[in-house]
Chain A
Amino acid sequence: MRCSKFLVPALLFAGVTVAAAQTPSYTHVGRTPSKDEIQAWSISVGPDGKGLPPGSGTAKQGAAIFATKCAYCHGANAQGGGIGTRLAGDKAAQDSLTTIHPVKTVGSYWPYATTIWDYINRAMPRNQAGSLKPDEVYSLTAFILFRSSIIQENDVMDARSLTKVQMPNRNGFVPPRFEDIPDEHKRGCREGVCP
């Protein structure tokens, strides 16, 4: 599958160093995946909605799914349980973030609603990860957002609306961008140099 025009540079560079040019150096090592294979593996969802599939759901639809698949660990109203963490946020939890005992929940702390979708889709429910259909994931995401008083019960969550949800703690993270960290060798805020 690898084009023969790459063969000459491959031979030239083999055993020396990795080719500076962006051409493959090692022949017949690795294979080209099909588009279907890539799509089946690609589950990542970005904060701007990249990777979100078609589908939709509301908190009302999510409530029934939550009751059967999530409540056992996370509590009937997403308030947390013996096994699962608290998901729902409220004003008190948001206000606690400036105290010595912050209550970090999905609703009070997470900056992007897309992360909720991504995590439910890839990791939940525990022991049955990957079993939920896109509509179910949208519905459950909506349910957690509704239980955190961020959206209304009948608001429809889909690939477009989810990226528009304003999370309460969206501006609680600094610096806004990775590139804003001045020392590019540090790129960490350990020394207190973050804006």
Chain B
Amino acid sequence: MIPDKPDRRSFLKNTAALAGLAVGASAASPVAEAAPPPERVDDLHAYGERSHLVNSVRIGSINNPERRIEGEPHDLGLRSPLQDQVGMITPASLHFVISHGYEPVDIAPQEHQLLIHGLVDRPLIFTLEELKRLPSVSRFHFIECHGNSSPGGPGSANRNAPKGTAQDTHGLTSCSQWTGVPLSLLLKEAGVQKGASWIIAEGADPSKHSKSIPLAKALDDALVAYGQNGEPVRPEQGFPLRLVVPGWQGINNVKWLRRIDVVDEPYMSMMEVSRYPSLKLDGKSRWFEFQLGPKSVITRPSGGYRLPGPGFYEISGLAWSGGGAVRRVEVSADGGRTWKDAEIEGPAYKKAHTRFTAPWTWTGDEVVLQSRCTDDTGEVQPTIAEVAKLWNADLDFFKNATIVVGDFNAIQPWKVNRDGSVQNALF
């Protein structure tokens, strides 16, 4: 469904031209003369709505600098309400959004093309329809911003505050079933040449976001996705085409994908040398940080909940790892002194959110709940003290940092107070 706008067609045309999609007359595809999009059926039931009594929404903003409100705190993007979700799929409408200040591009799918070139035997241009003719796969994968849960940087005031919810602390991760063509298939069609070692993936957004990705990863499990949870990828997620790079920092998952350049070195584009390296106190920045570590968070109960009284509650949460599948989740209800294995709602897919549950009876005393994830490579989610050690810093550094602390995957504690209120107890 495409929302109706009075000047939609001319807008699309302009956007496509801006995005460099209509390059030269010879670029016209056989379906260039596509029929105008159908009018939206003005029927309440044509595209289903959730109950008007359900009001769970994303918080934050696209962070468009031109619409910035004086005094309003900046955030990295729109955070997904994890505390309200069940199962392991994030509704596409609630998927977190980070687009570095740019509104989603409005691209007509029949005009969109993907170019593969560089160190290949046969450069190729695919239309969306052509990509859909190729063998497809559907896979469950999370996408997580490397700044998710960062105790420093934009959005960190809410993240660190006692009133912080799971949305404030962990809302920059989401999980979808992505459908598309393996990038390895497209690269083999083009014939990767000897000497190639990296690809550059580029989007059609106004900043032409560009990201270097090692060829080995591109050939391993990257996906050129046109489907998300059974329907076309949402505009905010890159409609009509998005690169999905499973388990790696969100920045690699290039939206509005239009070009893959096969090259022999990383090209050190803006995001990879300025925003995303982790600058530590020794003045050295760690770059080429790609894979996200094992991580989990209890979503129910979590910050902002109020338990009505003592008694039975099922603890429920999400676990994931860029290293592979979640093998084990442990839950502690005594501040980390003892841990019990949680039930994993299988199958636990590789590099996908995994739902875990554990039975718990609250006695009415003050307790701290936390969860700890182990992935199938054996890597265990660290405590905040262990993360601090890796940063060669103390907890004060995390409390006071003004920059994003990337890949922060420390165990998240929630404190249950005697009155039943639940609060963020990271510090």
Contacts and interface: CB of A to CB of B under 8 A. Distances in A.
The finding on whether chains A and B are genuine partners in a shared complex, rather than unrelated, reads: yes
A46 B397 CA distance: 35
A60 interface: no
A45 B267 contact: yes
Interface stretch (B36-44, B166-174, B365-373, B400-408): B400-408
B20 A41 contact: yes
A38 B115 contact: yes
A186 interface: yes
A172 B125 contact: no
- Of the four ranges (under 10, 10 to 19, 20 to 34, 35 or more), the interface on chain A belongs to 35 or more
B281 A100 contact: yes
B304 interface: no
B189 A25 contact: yes
B277 A173 contact: yes
B191 A24 contact: yes
Interface string A15-47: 000110011111001111110111011111111
A111 interface: yes
B273 A194 contact: no
B187 to A, nearest CB: 9
Given A18-B185, A50-B267, A104-B274, 15 more contacts: A22-B191, A41-B20, A46-B267, A48-B265, A98-B281, A100-B281, A104-B279, A114-B268, A115-B269, A126-B65, A126-B66, A129-B18, A187-B288, A191-B379, A192-B389
A82 to B, nearest CB: 8
A42 B117 contact: yes
B289 A33 contact: no
A83 B68 CA distance: 8
A100 B400 contact: yes
B133 interface: yes
Interface string A168-184: 00001111001001000
Contacts of B268: 46-47, 111-112, 114-115
Interface of B: 18, 20, 23-24, 26-27, 29, 65-66, 68, 115, 117, 121-126, 130, 133-134, 182, 184-185, 188-189, 191-192, 200, 202, 206-208, 210, 214, 258-259, 261, 263, 265-270, 273-274, 277-279, 281-293, 323, 377, 379, 389-390, 397, 400-403, 407, 409
Contact of B285 (A18, A100, A114, A174): A174
Contact of B210 (A122, A126, A194): A122
Contacts of B401: 100
Nearest to B293: A190
B266 A178 contact: yes
A67 interface: no
- Which of B18, B125, B400 has the largest number of chain A CB atoms within 10 A? B125
Contacts of A82: 68
A30 B125 contact: yes
